Structure 1
Amino acid sequence: MQTLIDTLSIIVHSGKVCNHTSTEKPFYCDLCGKKFSRKDHMRDHIRSVHMKEGVRCSHCSRSFATKSSLKRHKIQHSKKNVLSKAKYRCDLCSKKYADKRQLRDHLNKHYNL
């Protein structure tokens, strides 16, 4: 049975530890020179910017290198859609809400309730 220390030793030895504070960017795009800290980020960049491959948004036709990037982007479209259908507006700050409960909860924040 492996212990946590054994697992960490394997990860460190294999070089798979992610250093979020590193400013080193050893990978660069041959087409535009942009630098990247990770090879997979460089590949995503090349795919989405230079090759126009990847996945397209059905709402606005923007292209994304990964499905997860597209999913994050689509949330913005759904937020805009919800706000356009909002019927309840706060008289104090003009924010809009889709239902009365959301507006009531919002008003409680204005009045510190």
Structure 2
Amino acid sequence: TKKTKSSKSKVRKQCTECGLLVLDLSVHSRVHLGVKPFQCDLCDSRFGSPFRLKRHKAGVHEKKRNFICPLCGYSFMQKSEYEVHMRVHQNDRPFECDICHRRFVTSSKLKYHSRSHTGEKPFPCPHCDAKLSRNQYLTDHLRTRHGIIKPKRVYSKAAVTQADGSV
């Protein structure tokens, strides 16, 4: 496990699942396990941490979007989202594919692209034999093929099991 110090001198640990540096691995692991114990009292949305619930309420229900792009007017709740967005306008794509040399704005977009070369499909459907390369593709698959509009949990690389224990 890699450790780095943030500007607040708090030790961050690297998640072995996705590589993200986080302050609390036990809280972060909920993302991969699909555990979302915090429900919004204004809608049906659920979150893995109180911080994400608070951020959801501020952005969705209170419309707090303090970071506004001066070029296109798009607004963001978080400075980091705004900064990534600005890379698009500046054509700043610092993440390069080792295989085809295509460049990307974020490391996550590079990761998704890399799966097109490796054929990796880490998101299995719990209802059929389909395997998909992105969580969003699984959500779309569940909606179009199985009629599940809003999955109750986020499916991840972790084993996906149904209530009866079957996959």
Q: TM-score under structure 2 normalisation?
A: 0.34
More strand by share: 2
Higher Cα radius of gyration: 1
More helix by share: 1
